[in-house]
Amino acid sequence: MLVDAHTHIEQKDLLVFQTMLKDKKLEAIVSSRTKEEYQYHKEFLKKEWVEGQVKFSFGIHPWDAGKVEVEELLHIFKEADIIGEIGMDSYWTENPLGIQEKYFIKQLELAEHLQKPVVLHTKGQEKKIAEIIKLFKGRKLVHWYDCPLYVEDYIKEDCFFSINLDCEKNNNAKTLIKKVPIERLLLETDGIISIKWLLENQLKDDIKELSFDTSLMLMKNTLKSIAEIKNISVEKCENQMYENYSLFIGKK
Ligand SMILES: [Zn+2]
């Protein structure tokens, strides 16, 4: 079974996504950034037949730090399976880093207290985040890590890494796959908006139209690339990733 370890599903896409789950095409960790988003994810995806195939992740994204109070959302943090994505970003946002750090630490404390795994967003702040996470216990997933440095620091912290769909054309991703043990690798799409961005930027010649089937196909291609780099069969790679996912979410 394929697992999308980090995705965002827009409201308009929920029915199609629901069908993919129903057809047993994948399992996923679905992230929400607002309480409204969390509620409609719950409503559409926690039906009897998708239960178990979806884990819900909730966190105040670094881009939103300062816009809402952590305390106001405590009930959701308590209910969600995973805390994230949380972290810091000095590349895609001008949100002040001091505020981002405050929110990041607050949510890490909360995750440790609630004994929930976290999903980390590290863009441009890889060094700082590698330092901060040393202070907190619990399972950590680094999503779409795109930096040639500090990989060893994260490996030392026993982090999981979710590889995005650009790994064929992204040298940082290739290096990451080589360095990280297969027992800590996962796959992710980061949702349709990110796939669209990738298609328009790095993969533009490869794909003409965009749908969840395209995203599945790209995930399978990525799985194949990882299996090749790790010199194992695609089937073994897929099974290992499912085991990694189960371990990350605490399924067994
Ligand atoms: Zn994301």
Buried b (16+ CB within 10 A) or exposed e, 198-232: bbeeebeeebeeeebebbbebbeebbebbbebbee
Give me the domain span that covers residue 82: 2-249
CA of 85 to the centre of ligand 1 (A): 6
Per-residue pLDDT of the chain (252 residues; tens, 9 = 90+): 999 999 999 999 998 999 889 888 899 999 999 999 999 999 888 776 787 899 999 999 999 999 999 999 999 999 999 999 999 999 999 999 999 999 999 999 999 999 999 999 999 999 999 999 999 999 999 999 999 999 999 999 999 999 999 998 899 999 999 999 999 999 999 998 898 888 888 777 666 677 888 899 999 999 999 999 999 999 999 999 999 999 999 985
CA of 144 to the centre of ligand 1 (A): 8
Tokens of 9: 């599903």
CA of 216 to the centre of ligand 1 (A): 17
The DSSP line for 148-184 is: SSSHHHHHHTT-EEEE-TTTTT-HHHHHHHHHS-GGG
Number of domains the chain contains? 1
CA of 231 to the centre of ligand 1 (A): 29
Tokens of 86: 């949380």
* CATH number of residue 46's parent domain: 3.20.20.140
